[in-house]
Amino acid sequence: MASEPQSPGLREVYDYTEGNGYPGDQQSLRLRRVSSRVSNQNHPQFDCSSTSTPEEEDEEGDSGPPRDIRATALPMAVKRAVRQVQQMQVPVVSRRESWKRKNTKTLRKLKESGRGVLSFFSLWSKTLQKIGGNFGGGVQSFFLFLRFLVVLNFVSFLLIAGFVLIPSIVFRSVEASVVNSTGPEECMDYEPNPQGLVLFYNYFLDLLSGTGFMEYSYLFYGYYNNTMVEDSKFSYNIPLAYLFTAVFYFIFCLICIIARMGTAARVVVATGGSTVGEYSMIVFTSWDYGCLGDGATKLKQKNIHYRLQVDLEEESIKKRAAALSMAQKVVLYFLRVFMCLVSFGLIIAAFYGIFAATEFSQLKSEQKGILGLFFEYLPSIAITAGNFVVPLLCDQIALVERYAPSTTVIVALLRSVFLRLVSLGVLLFTLWRQITCDGATNSEECKLCQYNHKVYPCWETRVGQEMYKLTLFDLLINIAVLVLVEFPRRMVVDNWSNKLAQWVGRQEFVVAANVLALVYGQTVVWTGALFCPLLPLINTIKFILLFYFKKITLFYNCRPALKTFRSSTSTFFFLVVLLFGWGLATVVMIYSLAQIRPSMGCGPFRFFSSMWSIVPMSFYNLSHTTQEFLFFIGSQSFSIPLFALSCVVMCYFIALASVYGKSVALLRRQLKLEGRDKQFLVKQIESLSQRHQILRHTAGAHN
């Protein structure tokens, strides 16, 4: 590093990327040798940008000049001169060194061109930039989340298509089945194709509810056969593929979500988790230099103003709350507990409403025509109504509770999440009760086939149909709200200058509610994917349509929200909520795989006692060595050391994280001490110079 010239202004710069470490060569006057040594060893790397340069740490001395030159804050002409000096100074390098350097250079160029190609493929990036500039980071994070879900669903569809759909289509004609056993005749009675003449409008009804011509198709579980193709060089077991694809789909989604959460969480861990404080962060980092246009700039300024005001107000509220008298505190807490109970009561009432609606719908499942369609969609209608009404009421409750504004938002969101996901759970629970006769498989209807074969000859298809209906209904409701509520509202507000119209005002794009809608939709898809393999594809199309509809409504109908989410923490929070949904869907999947008997009249698992039982059966068809190997992996002699090793690795990472946090605290203390050293020195200089002047005066006086 000695050969690199440094301009005087740079001396105070903390050069994190050059790995210099804290200037430990400058000893403090108070002889803090120990602490400076420690800080040299534990030098943290604050790599917040994605273009962090780990390769710089490998290059020592003056190798890799382009990257170093670019990272110096000098004007172009000076940089050019510095580079020329460096090039003249290049010492004789070994052939290996120059080869290594050329390699890193070509690798870097390749990476940059690769990144250029990838950005070409990145979906909707210009639109997202426009949205971010005009409406802020919070709204943009919603659209980023939507884009992530579109890609996730599309890739899952490709997975399912490749392993289940295409082999099913190809081997459709093959009649070889895995297990040839018979069961009671009544259980195998399944007639999905409608008999006789079908009225025209029934096709439309069937499209909406997944019955009729849509029921016996690749859309639903019931159409897949339990074929196993056995060739001399190729064998394909469709039921096994179906099962493994479903399980792998869930694991794949989990990995994607966690990977995406990782980037946000990494920053928190590396900086030791402590918060510097919001005010400096807002003032120094909140301006978005990508804002285009006067309107967007004014909007951003208003946002920042609002944020600062809200934070200052929250601080004064906290001070006031701390100064409350005992009696006032008691009253406030009592009020809060009461309101909590009220909100729980509301949620439970909503559940009961959904439960009753589902029961009623099952009761009236024989109705035909439009009324029949209405009864079929009754659970979805009840769920949507609940999801509209209860959050509104919860918002009013939150006003009474008088939490700090940020706490209010989080509490309201959690309540809505709870409501949404468990309302779906209630629907599933009701279905389960009907299918398995309340879990009592010895009761009248379920004794024969272990499930209610009269009402549900093919229960998996039925569950798939419910999920299909939920997805479709969600999309239709969104379109209907857009056309019937948002556009007219905007037209009324713009053209009718009435006091009432102005008070209602233009629509605000509420990010939290929209995100919850996405999470709900995705949870429905996950729950239904086992029974309706094409559901990810339908969901991809639905989310793409939703992206465009939401974009249209955002630009034409909405005024920007004044209260914004911070984009990085909000992305993390959306993914956490998505994980809740994933958890619910996983529970459903595991239960269906392990506990409920598959239908005997349809599907690839028709002659198995449970869906999972095909795995042990196929296991014994494997070669002997593979069986031994798999037994060994599952045995204790392998899993216990593996578990111990992963514990050690996790402890290492936790220790690393805490060390980083400690070194941050240490460096802050050093900074403080340096400041005091500076003041001490200045005082010393002053006193010395004063003494010197006095001496001179007295010497002069003598003379």
Partner 1 sequence: MGTTASQLGKDMLSEYQELTFLTKQEILLAHKRFTELLTKDEKDLPNTRVSEERILTLPELKSNPFRKRICHVFSTSEYKDGSLTFEDFLDLLSAFSDSATLEIKSHYAFRIFDFDDDGTLDCGDLEKLVNCLTGETDDTRLTTEEMRQLISNILEESDIDKDGTVNLSEFQHVISRSPDFVSSFKIVL
The phi, psi pair for 688, rounded to 5°, reads -65, -45
Contact 241, 163 (CB under 8 A): yes
Q: Report if residue 35 touches partner 1, rule: CB under 8 A.
A: no
List the one residue out of 465, 261, 260, 502 whose CA is nearest residue 373. 465
C-beta closer to partner 1: residue 271 or 408: 271
Residues constituting the chain: 703
Count residues binding partner 1 (CB under 8 A).
72
CB of 289 to partner 1, least distance (A): 5
Choose the stretch contacting partner 1; rule: CB under 8 A; options: 304-312, 321-329, 339-347, 556-564. 304-312
Residue with tokens 């028709």: 606
Structure tokens at 573: 């929070």
Contact 3, 91 (CB under 8 A): no
Choose the stretch contacting partner 1; rule: CB under 8 A; options: 185-193, 295-303, 428-436, 463-471. 295-303
In order, the DSSP letters of 418-485 are HHHHHHHHHHHHHHHHHHTGGG-TTSTTTTTTSS-TTT-TTHHHHHHHHHHHHHHHHHHHHHHHIIII
CB of 394 to partner 1, least distance (A): 30
Contact 511, 143 (CB under 8 A): no
List the one residue out of 123, 130, 127 whose CA is nearest residue 150. 123
Q: Which of 59, 288, 466, 486 binds partner 1 (CB under 8 A)?
A: 288
CA dist 383 and 477 (Å) reads: 12
The phi, psi pair for 106, rounded to 5°, reads -65, -35
Q: Which of 277, 616, 634, 700 binds partner 1 (CB under 8 A)?
A: 277
CB of 283 to partner 1, least distance (A): 6
C-beta closer to partner 1: residue 5 or 293: 293
Q: Report if residue 87 touches partner 1, rule: CB under 8 A.
A: no
Contact 423, 183 (CB under 8 A): no
Q: Report if residue 4 touches partner 1, rule: CB under 8 A.
A: no
Choose the stretch contacting partner 1; rule: CB under 8 A; options: 461-469, 500-508, 563-571, 589-597. 563-571
Q: Within positions 114 to 133, which residues make up the interface with partner 1, using CB under 8 A?
A: 116, 129
Q: Report if residue 567 touches partner 1, rule: CB under 8 A.
A: yes
Q: Report if residue 563 touches partner 1, rule: CB under 8 A.
A: no
Q: Within positions 310 to 349, which residues make up the interface with partner 1, using CB under 8 A?
A: 312, 315
- What residues form DSSP beta bridges with 227? 177
Q: Which of 281, 552, 633, 695 binds partner 1 (CB under 8 A)?
A: 281
CB of 290 to partner 1, least distance (A): 5
Q: Report if residue 264 touches partner 1, rule: CB under 8 A.
A: yes
Q: Which of 302, 454, 691, 696 binds partner 1 (CB under 8 A)?
A: 302
C-beta closer to partner 1: residue 272 or 583: 272
Neighbour count for residue 396 (Cβ, 10 Å):
10
Q: Report if residue 298 touches partner 1, rule: CB under 8 A.
A: yes
Q: Report if residue 20 touches partner 1, rule: CB under 8 A.
A: no
For helices 405-435 and 511-528, the axis angle rounded to 10 degrees is 20
Q: Within positions 145 to 174, which residues make up the interface with partner 1, using CB under 8 A?
A: none
Q: Report if residue 75 touches partner 1, rule: CB under 8 A.
A: yes
List the one residue out of 395, 560, 377, 359 whose CA is nearest residue 477. 377
Q: Report if residue 83 touches partner 1, rule: CB under 8 A.
A: yes
Q: Which of 25, 91, 92, 112 binds partner 1 (CB under 8 A)?
A: 112
Q: Report if residue 454 touches partner 1, rule: CB under 8 A.
A: no
Q: Which of 318, 676, 691, 696 binds partner 1 (CB under 8 A)?
A: 676
Q: Which of 128, 135, 137, 397 binds partner 1 (CB under 8 A)?
A: 137
CA dist 380 and 373 (Å) reads: 12
C-beta closer to partner 1: residue 14 or 619: 14
CA dist 54 and 51 (Å) reads: 9
Q: Report if residue 77 touches partner 1, rule: CB under 8 A.
A: yes
C-beta closer to partner 1: residue 14 or 388: 14
Q: Report if residue 14 touches partner 1, rule: CB under 8 A.
A: yes
For 217, 365, 472, the CA distances from 368, given in Å and listed in that order, are 22, 8, 20
CA dist 28 and 26 (Å) reads: 6
Q: Percentage helix, strand, coil, to 5, in the chain?
A: 70, 0, 25
CB of 142 to partner 1, least distance (A): 16
